[in-house]
């Protein structure tokens, strides 16, 4: 049977392990759609409602499975719509190949219909972006694109003109140098390990460290046992970037939680007090949360040499696979007998967890965001797949939903794009049928790609969607207040009845707006056989604060409140409640100034919703720090700068 350019292209993708293509039909890719149709049963096409979702799903597919993801879009606007999801893949180093159509080959660059130069447009997002010239060119270009995407963990792009899709292979005359079938589909990814000199230097630094901390990111997800072994030897608390949330369960004694604006107090204090930092598979971007330059020596493990020393001035970079590199370190590291630094971190972890638990449990009146997440956490299965969105909801999930068992968490990391949670959840449900899949999102993100609820229904995916509805772009609101000291402006959202919208799509919906009804609503949704949505209307005034007081943020927040920002009194009341009260007193000072005498009297009852979990003075630690760092260059016990939520 004769084959055309489309047949060759789809067969190449399948040879590289592509089993699912996310996309939306269009007249610029009808030849490709026919080739996919002829391979039903061998290849799955997932029809989306927006091409941005197709790219996000392809990115998520790669993250969830470790295999190459694929998205397909038509000429012009279809290809343009892919870009946001493809940047998500580029930034988080997911392997994705994007296929787009082009106008007829002899009308390109003549201002014909939808004549967008997609190969040029994709040249920044893709490590390889090319235009197919004829059916004889397809196999070479597509195979190379897949190889680059897999080998470099990045995006590759191939654009194929409409008529080339239909061109018969036999009618396409190859050049004299293009020997037919000269490419290979063999896929082999080596797990590089560092050279001996670097390993020896790293071991010397880590063995000398008295207070070693570990930062684990996405690159450590497959190295849990080895990471724990090294941490145990070093007596090192494990701190996690958000992309590494599932690297070690949060209930493990060595794990003390996340870092950054979304992180925990014990993690921040560990970074403020450590003398050695081991970074494993992370380029957590917020430099201000790392140990200060000169405070700690550093060792970094990363498979990409260009990422070594990107955020922290490490002395040794170990370029290689995290699992194998950690295993080699474990063979030669000395067991640290002094566990004082680890034990202090563990005590602080228990205090922090008690603070969050108590404040969430004691929250009365309106549903607190933390209470919603705390109610969800124990209801998740040990092997659940949880997709986060980007915004205030991300911080709530990161802080109040602990990772446990073999749970996996994923969402947009370095790009931090909104609207990712439902596409990510769709990709998870398709890749792992039978496992519990939950999308935790905000009303801002969900509304951006609301049409994908139709995709959930179309493929009968039993996804559970939890919408943290505060009728606000919550994170942006708090950034305006805290980062700049400005009054909130245009962050309020026109309310949407997501429960009714979900039901219109054919999804079972439940509502909750109080602590008393929250658990029951979640139980009903999680027990439902098919897809379900929980619209959880939460208190919009609950703040998104760093775990420890940042003086600049506190001053800016005071300024915005004094200027009379929207709902200032309600915000003052929220700041008087736990855990905000303790977070604002992180340097030993009271949060009183942000509430005011008048406000204190008015919200006295709110103040009794929980007890501040202040850490007692640790004389042993203070003496150790004083001897290590002279008074002229003290270690700060409170962060002075900060930016967006860390990923």
Q: Determine, yes or no, domain membership for 61.
A: yes
Do 494 and 405 share a structural domain?
A: yes
Do 165 and 29 share a structural domain?
A: yes
What stretch of H or E contains 238?
strand 238-240
Q: How many CB atoms lie within 10 A of CB 575?
A: 24
Higher pLDDT, 176 or 322: 322
pLDDT in tens, 76-128: 999 999 999 999 999 999 999 999 999 999 889 899 999 999 999 999 999 99
Q: Which of 319, 346, 373 lies at the terminal end of a domain, its last residue?
A: 346
> Does position 383 have pLDDT exceeding 50, yes or no?
yes
Q: Determine, yes or no, domain membership for 633.
A: no
Token pair 């179309």 is found at 458
- Per-residue pLDDT band for 167 (boundaries 50, 70, 90) equals very high
Rounded distance, CA 197 to CA 415, Å? Answer: 35
CA distances from 209 to 214, 276, 277, 339, 620 (A): 12, 6, 9, 12, 17
Do 556 and 440 share a structural domain?
A: no
- Per-residue pLDDT band for 611 (boundaries 50, 70, 90) equals very low
Do 404 and 306 share a structural domain?
A: no
Q: Report pLDDT for 594.
A: 53
Do 555 and 531 share a structural domain?
A: no
Tokens read off for 83: 């870009």
Q: Determine, yes or no, domain membership for 358.
A: no
pLDDT in tens, 498-543: 999 999 999 999 999 999 999 999 999 999 999 999 999 999 999 9
Q: Determine, yes or no, domain membership for 351.
A: no
Q: Report pLDDT for 38.
A: 97
Rounded distance, CA 90 to CA 155, Å? Answer: 6
Do 387 and 321 share a structural domain?
A: no
pLDDT in tens, 286-306: 999 999 989 999 999 999 999
DSSP string, 388-418: E-SSHHHHHHHHHS---TT-EEE---SS--T
Tokens read off for 622: 């203070």
Do 570 and 498 share a structural domain?
A: no
- pTM: predicted TM-score of the whole model, two decimal places: 0.90
> Does position 616 have pLDDT exceeding 60, yes or no?
no
How many domains are contained in the chain?
Answer: 4
Q: Are 638 and 584 in contact (CB under 8 A)?
A: no
Question: Between helices 340-362 and 392-400, what is the axis angle to 10°?
Answer: 120
Do 413 and 269 share a structural domain?
A: no
Q: Determine, yes or no, domain membership for 126.
A: yes
Average pLDDT over residues 606-612: 37
C-alpha angle with apex 485: 484 to 486, nearest 5 degrees? Answer: 90
Least confident of 52-61, 358-367, 507-516: 358-367
> Does position 625 have pLDDT exceeding 80, yes or no?
no
Average pLDDT over residues 368-386: 97
- Look at residues 151, 72, 59, 70 and name the one whose alpha carbon lies nearest to residue 410: 59
- Per-residue pLDDT band for 260 (boundaries 50, 70, 90) equals very high
Average pLDDT over residues 184-213: 90
Rounded distance, CA 585 to CA 549, Å? Answer: 6
DSSP string, 205-237: HHHH-SSEEEEE-GGGTT-HHHHHHHHHHHT--
Rounded distance, CA 291 to CA 136, Å? Answer: 55
Higher pLDDT, 360 or 507: 507
Q: Determine, yes or no, domain membership for 629.
A: no
Q: Which residue range(s) make up the domain with 574?
A: 551-615
Q: Report pLDDT for 586.
A: 59
- Per-residue pLDDT band for 5 (boundaries 50, 70, 90) equals very high
Q: Which of 489, 508, 537 lies at the terminal end of a domain, its last residue?
A: 537
Rounded distance, CA 106 to CA 208, Å? Answer: 67
Q: What is the mean pLDDT of the chain?
A: 90
> Does position 224 have pLDDT exceeding 80, yes or no?
yes
Q: Report pLDDT for 157.
A: 98
Which CATH number covers residue 22?
3.40.50.970
Q: Report pLDDT for 192.
A: 87
Beta strand pairing status for 96-102 and 69-73?
A: parallel
Tokens read off for 326: 């950690």
Do 531 and 556 share a structural domain?
A: no
Q: Which of 485, 510, 537 lies at the terminal end of a domain, its last residue?
A: 537
Do 442 and 566 share a structural domain?
A: no
Which CATH number covers residue 263?
3.40.50.1220
Q: Determine, yes or no, domain membership for 85.
A: yes
What is residue 614's DSSP assignment?
P
Do 156 and 106 share a structural domain?
A: yes
Q: Determine, yes or no, domain membership for 25.
A: yes
Q: Report pLDDT for 419.
A: 98
Do 483 and 376 share a structural domain?
A: yes
- Per-residue pLDDT band for 364 (boundaries 50, 70, 90) equals confident
- Per-residue pLDDT band for 619 (boundaries 50, 70, 90) equals very low
Q: Are 262 and 411 in contact (CB under 8 A)?
A: no
Rounded distance, CA 608 to CA 615, Å? Answer: 19
pLDDT in tens, 7-34: 999 999 999 999 999 999 999 999 999 9
pLDDT in tens, 426-458: 999 999 999 999 999 999 999 999 999 999 999
> Does position 634 have pLDDT exceeding 70, yes or no?
no
Average pLDDT over residues 322-337: 97
């Amino acid at each position: 049977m004769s084959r055309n350019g489309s047949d060759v292209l789809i067969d190449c993708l399948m040879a590289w392990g592509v089993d699912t293509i996310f996309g939306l039909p269009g007249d610029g890719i009808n030849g490709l759609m026919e080739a996919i149709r002829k391979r039903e049963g061998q290849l799955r096409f997932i029809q989306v409602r927006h091409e941005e979702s197709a790219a996000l799903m392809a990115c998520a597919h790669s993250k969830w499975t470790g295999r190459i993801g694929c998205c397909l879009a038509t000429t012009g606007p279809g290809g343009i719509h892919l870009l946001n999801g493809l940047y998500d893949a580029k930034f988080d180093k997911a392997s994705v190949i994007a296929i787009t159509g082009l106008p007829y080959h002899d009308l390109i660059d003549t201002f014909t219909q939808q004549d967008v130069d997609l190969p040029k447009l994709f040249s920044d997002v893709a490590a390889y972006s090319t235009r197919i010239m004829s059916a004889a060119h397809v196999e070479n270009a597509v195979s190379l694109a897949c190889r680059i995407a897999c080998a470099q963990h990045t995006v590759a792009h191939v654009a194929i003109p409409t008529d080339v899709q239909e061109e018969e292979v036999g009618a396409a005359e190859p050049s004299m140098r293009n020997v037919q079938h000269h490419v290979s589909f063999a896929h082999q990814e080596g797990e590089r390990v560092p050279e001996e000199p670097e390993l020896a230097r790293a071991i010397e630094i880590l063995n000398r460290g008295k207070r070693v901390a570990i930062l684990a990111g996405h690159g450590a997800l497959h190295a849990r046992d080895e990471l724990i072994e090294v941490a145990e030897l070093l007596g090192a608390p494990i701190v996690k970037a958000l992309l590494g949330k599932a690297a070690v369960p949060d209930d493990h004694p060595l794990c003390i939680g996340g870092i950054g604006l979304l992180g925990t107090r014990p993690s921040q204090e560990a970074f403020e007090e450590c003398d050695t930092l081991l970074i494993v598979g992370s380029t957590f971007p917020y430099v201000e949360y790392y140990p200060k330059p000169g405070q700690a020596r550093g060792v970094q493990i990363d498979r990409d040499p260009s990422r070594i020393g990107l955020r922290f001035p490490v002395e040794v970079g170990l370029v290689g696979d995290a699992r194998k590199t950690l295993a080699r370190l474990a063979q030669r590291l000395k067991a640290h007998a002094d566990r004082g630094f680890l034990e202090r971190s563990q005590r602080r972890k228990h205090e922090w967890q008690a603070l969050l638990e108590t404040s969430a449990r004691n929250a009365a009146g309106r549903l607190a965001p933390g209470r919603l997440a705390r109610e969800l956490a124990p209801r998740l299965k040990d092997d659940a797949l949880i997709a986060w969105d980007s915004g205030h909801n991300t911080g709530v999930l990161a802080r109040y939903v602990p990772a446990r068992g073999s749970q996996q968490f994923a969402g947009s990391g370095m790009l931090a794009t909104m609207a990712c949670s439902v596409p990510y959840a769709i990709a998870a449900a398709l890749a792992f049928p039978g496992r519990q899949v939950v999308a935790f999102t905000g009303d801002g993100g969900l509304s951006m790609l609301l049409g994908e609820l139709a995709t959930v229904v179309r493929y009968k995916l039993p996804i559970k969607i939890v919408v943290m509805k505060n009728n606000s772009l919550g994170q942006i609101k708090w950034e305006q207040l805290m980062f700049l000291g400005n009054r909130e402006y245009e962050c309020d959202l026109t309310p949407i009845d997501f429960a009714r919208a979900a039901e219109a799509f054919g999804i079972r919906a439940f509502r909750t707006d109080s602590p008393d009804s929250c658990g029951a609503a979640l139980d009903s949704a999680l027990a439902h056989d098919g897809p379900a949505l929980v619209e959880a209307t939460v208190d919009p005034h609950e703040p998104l604060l760093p775990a420890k007081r940042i003086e600049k943020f506190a001053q800016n927040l005071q300024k915005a409140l004094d200027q009379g920002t929207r709902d200032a009194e309600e915000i003052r009341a929220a700041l008087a409640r736990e855990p905000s009260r303790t977070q604002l007193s992180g340097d030993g000072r009271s949060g009183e100034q942000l509430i005011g005498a008048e406000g204190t009297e008015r919200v006295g009852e709110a103040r009794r919703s929980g007890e501040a979990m202040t850490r007692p003075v640790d004389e042993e630690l203070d003496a150790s720090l004083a001897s290590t760092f002279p008074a002229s260059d003290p270690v700060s016990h409170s962060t002075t700068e900060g930016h967006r939520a860390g990923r």
